[in-house]
Amino acid sequence: MTNIVDMTRVSEGDTSALDKTGIATTTAEEPTKIEAKELPEGTMMEITQPGTDKVYTFPALALAGGDFHQVIQASDGTISEEDIKRYHDIALDLLANKGRVHLGRGDIEQDWVKEIWEKVNPEGVEIIEHYLSGQSDSIHIDSWIGDEYTVIVYLTPGWTPDDGGSIEFWTPNMTDEMRAMSVNTPYGFSGSPEMNIVKSFWPKTGRVVVFDARIPNVSRAVEGDKFKVSLVFKARKRTESER
């Protein structure tokens, strides 16, 4: 089943394209909203770009979760300094100055990684994959699927703001495809085209950052000769039947 949403008609005030799609009619000041949980499994959504014939197709569940662009949390003090030092030493040996080392998919096999996950584990999620990272990158999104999250644990002792390596989170309107997926946010085709940073965090030792995997993000380069070590978990929200 495919539901077609003509955003040109919607932006002009004709909301008939939203009938029987699971997308709610809203005022001009609010983003269009989809309640994907009310749609049959396997439903696809076609979002048309206003003023063009360009169509973007997504599974309906890729649009789940409402306004995802501010689903970003950071916490400190979850892991003791003594444990951070121990975890860092293990991770550094595994990385050996590589940019990334994949640790596994699904269940965690390494005891030290299990310890960390038990300390930071967000409720109601399961691991897709996990890896060690010591690299910067360009602006990207981690997933085009709703209800998936990225959890980053920064493991380098003695890190300061002057050492750089901050992570930035941007508005989800970097490309037209992102804007099509962002129908539930203020940055879809009917919303703001202005690009900006939503939040930014420096990689403080032991800091845990959790965010919706659809948010554009970038890890900036390190200033100086320190080697930034982070443990990254990709996770998805469990369905009610899996809990």
Domain architecture of the chain: domains with CATH? 2-63 (no CATH), 72-166+202-242 (2.60.120.620)
Q: What are phi and psi of 62, to 5 degrees?
A: -65, -20
Beta strands in the chain (DSSP E): 2-6, 23-24, 33-34, 44-48, 55-59, 72-75, 100-105, 125-133, 148-154, 167-170, 197-201, 208-212, 217-219, 230-237
* Per-residue pLDDT, 1: 44
Whole-angstrom distance, CA of residue 60 vs CA of residue 83:
42
What would the mean pLDDT of 53-68 be, rounded to a whole number?
86
Examine the pLDDT at 79 and tell me if it is beyond 50. Answer: yes
Confidence of residue 25 (pLDDT cuts 50, 70, 90): very low
Examine the pLDDT at 4 and tell me if it is beyond 70. Answer: no
Each residue's pLDDT tens digit, 130-182: 999 988 889 999 999 988 999 999 999 999 999 999 999 999 999 999 999 99
Indicate the pTM of the whole model: 0.84
Question: At 241, which amino acid appears?
Answer: S
Burial class (CB in 10 A: 0-12, 13-18, 19+), 214: buried
Burial class (CB in 10 A: 0-12, 13-18, 19+), 163: middle
Examine the pLDDT at 218 and tell me if it is beyond 80. Answer: yes
By the 8 A CB rule, do 206 and 107 touch? no
Share of the chain above pLDDT 90, in %: 60
- 243: tokens are 């809990």
